[in-house]
Structure 1
Amino acid sequence: MSLDDLPPLRAVIARHDLRARKALGQNFLLDLTLTARIARAAGDLAGSDVLEVGPGPGGLTRGLLEEGARRVLAIEKDPRCLPALAEIAAAAPGRLEVILGDALEIDPLAHLTPPIRVAANLPYNVGTELLVRWLTPPAWPPFWQSLTLMFQKEVAERIVAAPGSKAYGRLALLAQWRCEARIVLTLPPEAFTPPPKVHSAVVHLTALPEPRYPADPEVLERVVAAAFNQRRKMLRAALRGLSPDIEAHLEAAGIPPTERAERVDLERFCALSRSLAEG
């Protein structure tokens, strides 16, 4: 059997009784045309290993293999999905490895060979946490070349947001400091089974060789977290806990002390982080 011979996903779900479980954040994407589009959005997969989190019945898994991924490592928490994924593995010998477990607790690097890309229709309940982990490794560049990830549309918009918008905040700064980030596909609720209450979007992030502006990652994270935890406050008040001389540091970074976080761009947040790190 080849990948082309595999049955439609609805038939797979019926045969294996794979009703989506809300507790696992499952919303299955059954249209293989759409899963193929997501796989293509991940870029040229030939010669790359791909990490997929939450494959479910394997729609995107099929797309990644058909687009030429050297190997796919799929981490799945729901044991009910294993028989369906085993059928895909049999149709693509030696190219799909499935690990049963929680992606938050598994180190995938022992199972992957660079170059590595990540592509996933992430379970809604762990998507943001996984993204932040991938954006904040101990060293940069990270283990991955690109991330192609499905989120709720609201989360996707926060990743690509510009200063001055309501969506702009910590996630935008973390992503855009070290990556090129863009929304490549938007999907309505009815594309999924069961339909979620919100639209979804696929974000493609490409790792930059080095951050856009120099800054200590831990200092930048503290500054951004403090600034947006109290985003309605002026920065001289929101950041007071970081330094008794916070106004001088703000002015050194070219930021008016009366400014609010959502109007400060990435370059000035990095400048403020450098000023604070220097004391």
Structure 2
Amino acid sequence: MSNTAIPAGLPADLSTDLPHFVGVLGGGRMGAGIAHAFLIKGAEVLVVERDEQSAEAARERVESAAAKSIERGVVDANLDEMASRLTVGVDYDAFKDRQLVVEAVPEDWELKVSSLRGIEERLAPEAYLASNTSSLSVNGLAKELQRPGNFLGLHFFNPVPASTLIEVVLGEQTAPGLADAAKRWVAALGKTAVVVNDAPGFASSRLGVAIALEAMRMVEEGVASAEDIDNAMVLGYKHPTGPLRTTDIVGLDVRLGIAEYLQSTLGDRFAPPQILRDKVARGELGRKTGKGFFDWPS
């Protein structure tokens, strides 16, 4: 673990373009992508996972992404130097010297709450905490914390390296000035921020899921094939990826969970179609399992 100490007073400084000491809880696809985004911009990044095997897998994901960024000319840096700024581990106590920690665990309420509490207990009082939740209530999560003013949502998009958007989600108790600071952080990462007040599904998930669910109903009703529906949105509306292929990339299980949450908060217009439930029950979760609405060769 890194023993680098933060200079006195630095965590409370909202004027800096980017926190230098950053933590990420969870080193899966999203967490590794978030770690990579900060790493290539010069931050010292700590990734904490549930066990040693998962931590080493996270290291491999981040370093692999960093190597690809160098190969593609996205960043002019030395891989060994970047790797020296990456630390992985399994101990929440390592978060004690972080200025900002981003939680990136699966979209499960109890898991999110326990994870955020565990991080907050270790953080300096001046440090900041963010959730990468794509749909869960930031206000609700904030109520479970001791310092809700230091908390907000930073919703990164998959795949993080290629995405240019981060949704900054403000809770009712988010401290004044933190929104502007988060916008500077996002800009320093080379991405664009959209700022929204907490609401079910925020802006992106709510709209994205609504389109995807209707596309699924069209497949279910035999209106058109998944490929033709996606092509209609890509060619007709200039979407970079169609709603069904995007669902495969995000994960059908993830989309189902978000849809069920939105149904419970916004009503039956977000009720998951039976085709989505059936595919999840069969284990057809999209790219990560090789089959969803499309086939994904390994």
On whether the aligned pair clears a TM of 0.5, the verdict is no
Sort the TM-score into its range (normalised by shorter chain): 0.3 to 0.5
Query: Which structure's residues are more often strand, by fraction?
Result: 1
Q: TM-score with structure 2 length normalisation?
A: 0.36
Q: TM-score with structure 1 length normalisation?
A: 0.39
Query: Which structure's residues are more often helix, by fraction?
Result: 2
**Structure (1 or 2) with the larger CA radius of gyration:** 1
